[in-house]
Structure 1
């Protein structure tokens, strides 16, 4: 069990694992800081920019929380502050740690920061980077995925569901496969523990829609027999 600590620096509150950052400061959550240190090893753009950086021979992921939809055009990174435990970064950090304790294949949380601004806050999180892994969508753009791996994807999703872990955005961008063919789920913002099982079929249907969408837009290497293999793994 990691010795997770909390530190307050003015308007910033930082949750962190001291094994990775013994004396965390707000600059650790800045892509510009890591770029100035020549530590950036990659980045991904979506709603915002996710930075991948290297520090003391370990690789990390840095993400700033941004709103989507219409409200995101007005309050792009501002959220109402109703207590530190209710903030997006604290919730994701604690959920990830809970899943790590359960032995589920998800990113390891390293540090999270909340910056209070009056009644609002902004948030950031640092995770351990999954070594030599690609997301399923990226793989399917260039090659097929073996049916045995599709079954493993189904089994992995079932593991999370068996522990009542609800993934808010289960799509093929958030499923990773590493060099050993181990399957991982990532991006647990707005996710959580959800009781009952009624929600699980809809969660699986969301993933199917994601595959159909990418097949329509990018003609990925995916077919119905792959989906049947995934379902077989999920139900096994």
Structure 2
């Protein structure tokens, strides 16, 4: 259970897990503070791995994308603390963790105001020994067993109503033990489970895999994607049947 605590700063605030055993400061969100400036690893806008007093973490600075990035690379319009990108993602990750879903646990989030805008950062637990699905694609390591593990994880999130706004191969982590986690829940939210957005999640993942060149791998469709779809629909159908049988 994440114990949410908020600490004010002169120009913003930090939300963190009070069970950390350490109180985060503004320096925790500065890559240069850790001597790692410029060392990025995956994710939109880049992620820096840092060793904090609370343990190994992934530090992400929020960057704008698309046309909005031409106006400002990382400044968002201020509409209230609870609506900042960092605080919203921290809250969602805390909820998903409480549901025992495999996510990178939230450690702390920070926003700093500047005029009518703000900048934001997020610290999450580093999942040691894990690599992205994109890395597996690059090595051509896709098979039905991996597909089953991935789809089982995605189905768990979808059944819980956890909507991932950018489900792509870079945001699916495969651990050394074969466990699968989802990361980067920026703009994600809890929604009423529905076939339309659940299928859109899978379609986005497929587009990502094809963009990375998976379609050129031998047997991608027959040995990976088709088993993934079949296992997903089977998992969702079994869950629906279980819910029907449990109903009075």
TM-score relative to the length of structure 1: 0.91
For residue 15 of structure 2, what is the aligned residue in structure 1? Answer: 15
Provide Cα deviations, 1:92-123, integer angstroms capped at 9, x if missing partner.
00000000011111110000001011211110
Equivalences for 1:197-236 in 2 at 5 Å? 197=194, 198-215=196-213, 219=216, 223-225=220-222, 226-235=224-233, 236=235
Quick check: which one's helix share is greater? Answer: 2
RMSD (CA atoms): 2.0
Quick check: which one's strand share is greater? Answer: 1
Equivalences for 1:112-191 in 2 at 5 Å? 112-191=109-188
Change in Cα spacing, 1:85 to 1:180, as seen in structure 2 (3 Å) is same
Provide Cα deviations, 1:25-47, integer angstroms capped at 9, x if missing partner.
11110000001xxx78x632565
Kept after mapping to 2: 8 A contact 1:153/1:233: no
For residue 83 of structure 2, what is the aligned residue in structure 1? Answer: 86
Provide Cα deviations, 1:130-168, integer angstroms capped at 9, x if missing partner.
110000111121132331121111111111110111111
For residue 5 of structure 1, what is the aligned residue in structure 2? Answer: 5
Kept after mapping to 1: 8 A contact 2:147/2:227: yes
Change in Cα spacing, 1:147 to 1:168, as seen in structure 2 (3 Å) is same
Kept after mapping to 1: 8 A contact 2:62/2:74: yes
Gaps of 5+ in 2: 236-248
Structure 1 position 228, deviation (Å): 1.1
TM-score relative to the length of structure 2: 0.87
For residue 243 of structure 2, what is the aligned residue in structure 1? Answer: none
Please point out which of 57, 60, 67 is paired with 1:60: 57
Structure 1 position 184, deviation (Å): 0.6
